[in-house]
Amino acid sequence: MSQLNQLLTYAILIFVAVTSLFPMYWLFNTALTPASSTVKLPPDIIPANATFDNFGAIVKASGVSKIPIPGSDEVWRVPRLYVWFFNTALITLVSTAVHLVFDAMAGYAFAKRKFPGSNLLFAMILAALMIPAQVTLVPLYMMITQWKLVNTFAGVILPGLADVIGIFLLKQYIQTLPGELEEAARMDGASEWTIFTQIIVPLTTPALAVTAIFSFQRYWNSFIWPLIVLQSPDLFTLQVGLSFIHTSEFGTNYGLLMAGAALAAIPMIIFFFAFQKYFMQGLRIGAIKG
Amino acid sequence: MQALVKFWHKHKWSYFFIAPSMILFFIFIVYPVAQAFLLAFQKVDLRGGTWIGFKNFTDLGASKLFWSSLQHTFVYAIFVVLAWITSSMVVASLIQPLTNKVQSLFRAAFYLPNVISIIVISLVWIWIFEPDYGFFNFLISSAGLPKVLWLQNPDIALWSIVLSTVLIVPGSGVVLYSAAMGSVPRDYYEAADVEGASALQKLIHITFPLLKPTTLYLTVIYTIAGFQIFERVYIMTGGGPINSTTTIVQLIFQTAFSDFNFGRASAEALILFAIIAAFSFVQFKFLSTDVEY
């Protein structure tokens, strides 16, 4: 490749990359800019007097949760933003962990065990992959209402545990594992549960990691279902809380809003850099199915 | 009885392994999907449902808002799919000749924005589109042009939402195209060189056909994602101004959770389902290929 060509390639790529990353940069730039400098022209392309004031402001603006302390009349006052952080982490971790275990079990059964009904059930799972989530939104809401789970974490978590993509991905992966180890263990009298936990699960680690990472991302960022189910601000997740602040009196205080958005984004950014390899692998596993 | 015991003994572990996820699957996916089909033919209120045949669908056919929301959704999906496929293919082919290290740096840079929630992204775009102090109007007025009401002008708002989506190159497309290009055997190009093929001929006759499976996959997932656009609209405009950005999922959300018309919302969801299924089918029909290498 000629030098000019190479220079041009880099120029285009860097321009496109800068454009793609600009909203993220602007998010952090505004979050770190003092409130007085947010509304001025020209804007600071790099924060002139970088400050964490906006972060303090969003913590205050989110309000205060009063958490009763068991066995006493006292209440524990916590800024709501911290509570939202905790709620999001709790919902995400519980959902990811439970569905990972269930998906691995089902993926193993569909991949390695033949049993009456397995083909029919798996065909149903494939068909369900095509159905957009909006179809089940109203029936699920009616169900949750009937079960009196509106405004509870159980109402958010339970329907989200049903997942077909994870079962599908893990089945595809486990199918490629050689069967000898399993057979040998069975000869030695290992129980089926032992075979699953001691042989299948360790060999499936890469696919489990990919599934876990995509679930984590999906639950952390999920919006419409928690928005519908959760009603009291103390139970909100970060995404729902952000949209709540956006429609509140602080909605046009962009420094404050960007600080909140940055706080919701930072865990995912760290998560991405920590598990970058698996994100890229996961895309390819996902694409092979197509 | 004996057979039953034997059957149980043989298969109990299989059923044990699938039981938890299949129970969840039937309660939270199969049953609600069936329910959606029933609700679409009912008028649902607090006391329960009454059967009204196709009335929900004929009402939708007569509703201006429904047709305009379909139109907005199509506009959004078509532009986003075309832009994303093109930009990710171009970026992937540009990074192809670079060293592995630089390639993975660029892939990470393009993938990073994808991990952040659309709520966060949409909030940033509201700020970038802000009329007085937003970055876009700052750029425009520095160039001496009049300010634009990006999200407040009903003729422009939908295009602003499209713009906020297409300006970001999708990391998934870059990663997948880049992987597909990396696995095209070099001999193909060398043979073409010997035959004296031009760069454009090589692109049309070698690269494009070999990328077809990736293009098919990405077109299908981007189309599905495009038709399901909701969060961006909900946060950035709420469907306004004067319904100029209402998309089909935004409409489903309003019908269900502002009007509490569950029957009609289900009918809208089924129409979305039908559109997505039809598009996926057509794309498989026209883009699928048996090229192997």
Q: Do A103 and A164 meet the contact criterion of CB atoms below 8 Å apart? A: no
pLDDT of residue B46: 67
Write the DSSP symbol of residue B30.
I
Q: Pick from B215, B116, B149: which is nearest to A261 by CA?
A: B116
Integer-rounded Cα radius of gyration of chain A: 24
CA distance B225 to B180: 22
CA distance A231 to A237: 11
The 3-state secondary structure of chain B, one letter per residue: CHHHHHHHHHHHHHHHHHHHHHHHHHHHHHHHHHHHHHHCCEEEECCEEEECCCHHHHHHHCCHHHHHHHHHHHHHHHHHHHHHHHHHHHHHHHHCCCCHHHHHHHHHHHHHHHHCCHHHHHHHHHHHCCCCCCHHHHHHHHCCCCCCCCCCCCCCHHHHHHHHHHCCCCHHHHHHHHHHHHCCCHHHHHHHHHCCCCHHHHHHHHHHHHHHHHHHHHHHHHHHHHHCCCHHHHHHCCCCCCCCCCCHHHHHHHHHHCCCCHHHHHHHHHHHHHHHHHHHHHHHHHHCCCCCC
In this complex, is the C-beta atom of B107 within 8 Å of any C-beta atom belonging to chain A? yes
Cite the beta strand spans of chain B per DSSP E.
42-45, 48-51
Cite the beta strand spans of B25-145 per DSSP E.
42-45, 48-51
In this complex, is the C-beta atom of B199 within 8 Å of any C-beta atom belonging to chain A? no
pLDDT of residue B292: 46
- The sign of the CA dihedral A191, A193, A194, A195 is positive
In the block, which residue shows the tokens 């290992």? A190
Q: What is the DSSP track for A66-93?
A: EEEPTTSS-EEEEEHHHHHHHHHHHHHH
CA distance A62 to A246: 11
In this complex, is the C-beta atom of A102 within 8 Å of any C-beta atom belonging to chain B? yes
Chain A stretch 45-84, residues whose beta carbon is closer than 8 A to a beta carbon of chain B: none
In this complex, is the C-beta atom of A42 within 8 Å of any C-beta atom belonging to chain B? yes
Q: Pick from B278, B229, B277, B218: which is nearest to B251 by CA?
A: B229
In this complex, is the C-beta atom of B152 within 8 Å of any C-beta atom belonging to chain A? no
HSE of B76 in the Cβ direction (CA atoms, 13 Å)? 29
Provide the angle, in degrees to the nearest 10, between the axes of the packed helices A53-61 and A254-274: 100
Distance separating the N- and C-terminal Cα atoms of chain B: 54
Higher confidence at residue B190 or residue A24? Answer: A24
A52-67 b/e with 16+ CB inside 10 Å = b?
Answer: ebbbebbbebbbebee
User: Shortest CB distance from B269 goes to which of A134, A161, A228?
Assistant: A134
SS3 B193: helix
In this complex, is the C-beta atom of B59 within 8 Å of any C-beta atom belonging to chain A? no
Q: Looking at the complex, report in whole angstroms how far the Cα of residue A71 sits from the nearest Cα belonging to chain B.
A: 37
Q: Looking at the complex, report in whole angstroms how far the Cα of residue A117 sits from the nearest Cα belonging to chain B.
A: 10
pLDDT category, A241, cuts 50, 70, 90?
very high
- List per-block mean pLDDT (blocks of 10 residues) for chain B, which spans 293 residues: 85 92 95 94 82 90 94 96 95 88 90 93 95 92 91 95 95 90 81 81 82 88 92 92 94 93 94 91 72 46
- Inter-chain contact B123–A143, Cβ cutoff 8 Å? no
Q: Pick from A117, A193, A115: which is nearest to B7 by CA?
A: A115
CA distance A251 to B123: 10
Chain A stretch 125-184, residues whose beta carbon is closer than 8 A to a beta carbon of chain B: 125, 128, 130-143, 158-159, 161-164, 167
ipTM greater than 0.85: yes
CA distance B207 to A81: 50
- Inter-chain contact A128–B269, Cβ cutoff 8 Å? no
In this complex, is the C-beta atom of A207 within 8 Å of any C-beta atom belonging to chain B? no
The Cα-based distances of A78 to A72, A239, A247, A250, B146 in angstroms read 17, 19, 22, 19, 46
- Inter-chain contact B14–A40, Cβ cutoff 8 Å? no
User: Shortest CB distance from A115 goes to which of B15, B21, B33?
Assistant: B15
Phi-psi region of A174 (alpha: psi -120 to 50; beta: other; left: phi over 0): alpha
Chain B stretch 77-106, residues whose beta carbon is closer than 8 A to a beta carbon of chain A: 87, 91, 94-95, 97-98, 106
Q: Do B32 and B265 meet the contact criterion of CB atoms below 8 Å apart? A: no
User: Shortest CB distance from B231 goes to which of A162, A192, A223?
Assistant: A223
- Inter-chain contact A9–B176, Cβ cutoff 8 Å? no
Write the DSSP symbol of residue B51.
E
CA distance A51 to A34: 6
Chain B residues touching residue A136 (CB < 8 angstroms): 28-29, 32-33, 36
Q: Pick from A285, A16, A281, A28: which is nearest to B170 by CA?
A: A16
pLDDT of residue B283: 79
- Inter-chain contact A164–B29, Cβ cutoff 8 Å? yes
Chain A residues touching residue B113 (CB < 8 angstroms): 20-21, 23-24
In this complex, is the C-beta atom of B110 within 8 Å of any C-beta atom belonging to chain A? yes
CA distance B1 to A175: 34
CA distance A192 to B270: 42
CATH topology of domain A57-289: MetI-like fold (1.10.3720)
CA distance A113 to B19: 14
AA letter at A238: L
Cite the beta strand spans of chain A per DSSP E.
64-68, 75-79
Q: Do A23 and B113 meet the contact criterion of CB atoms below 8 Å apart? A: yes
Chain A stretch 227-286, residues whose beta carbon is closer than 8 A to a beta carbon of chain B: 228, 239, 242-243, 246, 254, 257-258, 261-262, 264-265, 268-269, 271-272, 276, 279-280, 283-284
- Inter-chain contact A223–B119, Cβ cutoff 8 Å? yes
A–B interface: beta-carbon pairs under 8 A:
248
Phi-psi region of A63 (alpha: psi -120 to 50; beta: other; left: phi over 0): left
CA distance B245 to B164: 14
Nearest CA in chain A to B173: A283
- Inter-chain contact A103–B175, Cβ cutoff 8 Å? no
Residue B46 class from Cβ within 10 Å (0-12 exposed, 13-18 middle, 19+ buried)?
exposed
- Inter-chain contact B117–A16, Cβ cutoff 8 Å? no
- Inter-chain contact A140–B32, Cβ cutoff 8 Å? yes
All structural domains of chain A with their residue ranges: 3-50, 57-289
pLDDT of residue A208: 92
CATH topology of domain B64-287: MetI-like fold (1.10.3720)
CA distance A136 to A159: 10
Mutation target to probe the B interface, by most B beta carbons within 10 A, among A25, A27, A113, A135 is A135
CA distance A165 to B34: 20
Query: Which residues partner with B49 through β-bridges?
Result: B44
Neighbours of B63 (CB within 10 A): 14
CA distance B121 to A94: 26
pLDDT of residue B288: 66
- Inter-chain contact B253–A224, Cβ cutoff 8 Å? yes
Q: Looking at the complex, report in whole angstroms how far the Cα of residue A176 sits from the nearest Cα belonging to chain B.
A: 19
Q: Pick from B201, B176, B167, B166: which is nearest to B89 by CA?
A: B176
